[in-house]
Structure 1
Amino acid sequence: MKSDLILSNICQYISLSPMEKEYFLSLLEEGNLHKKEFLLSQGESCKHIYFVNSGILRAFHINQEGKDSTVMFAVKDWWITDMHCFLNVVPSMVNIQVVAPSSVLKLSKENLDKLYDEIPEFNRFFRILMQNAYCREQLRTIQNLSLPALERYERFIKKYPHIANAVPLKQIASYLGITPEFLSAIRAKKD
């Protein structure tokens, strides 16, 4: 199992002994995923949180009219799940799909609860992870409500150039809350 990246991610915030690292790694499952494969579908029980070792994943919601809205992307060294549904053990509100071939490590809700009991420092780690995610999503929501589409696109390109170059334009437009045609027009003006 490729574990260096996830341990580095965690050890930015908490210190673990060699035995604690070993125990944590024993609770993970590794998965290699193909493009377009689904890790989670809307309505399914959300039982895992995923750490991306490589590749790109996308979380998106499909509304009743069939329109999809990208909630987030996850790339190497990021975590992804439907957090509300994972923590509250309710059906998923999002799909998580592989955009580019990926390798993930997954941690079940059951094993996360064991981890909290066995290594209390993980309470701190996941609190920080969730705080950071909340702040990121709040900022994104405010920007989507207050900034013109061109500025949202420019900020996305600046902040996530590795994502912008690797995912379809349609998915970027969905993330920014605009149509692919409008995004194409914005890009044409910039070039």
Structure 2
Amino acid sequence: MSTENIENEDPRDPLKREVEELMIHYGDELTILAYSYVKNIEDAKDIVQNVFVTAYLQMGKFRGESTIKTWLYRVTINKCKDYLKSALFKRIILFGTNIEPKQTGNSAEEHLMDKEFARSVLQEVMKLKVNYREVILMTYFQDLKIKEVAIILNLPEATVRSRLQRAKKQLTPLLEQGVLPYV
């Protein structure tokens, strides 16, 4: 192994550290986003791993015209769309997998109720068309503002609001049943 390769693998590499911090900070959010497209947790994790490889390789080309978070979301969406277009995807039968909510300091009973609630909500949201599903997930699950969602999806803010409204309307039967009290 040459000394040049050893230098590239140096853990003190600032770019490597920056990407590792991005992985820690945005990894779960991007996995949920990817899952909303591919509906398979393992494929979503693979896509997100590729997103961070791309981030490492392309970080020097990042112009800063948007936030790094917005850029990572856009890369994730593009990679998901590429995956869905691929011949491999067309031959795979997808099986749904639940995404676990983050751990909190709640009691065991509250944690179980939160987990069940999150699973129920996610199941119903995942039934929506992708253009409605993505705005619901970004707005309510990842706490993005309408403006941020519009930038990520490269859509006018009015379109995002419209999709959000239509998605909520489709989820109305759940609201009436009390399953989704906060949407």
Which structure has greater helix proportion?
2
Q: Looking at CA atoms only, which structure, 1 or 2, has the larger radius of gyration?
A: 2
User: Considering the TM-score relative to the shorter chain, is it more than 0.5?
Assistant: no
**TM-score scaled by structure 2?**
0.32
Q: TM-score, normalised by structure 1?
A: 0.31
Relative contact order, higher structure (CA 8 A, sep 6+): 1
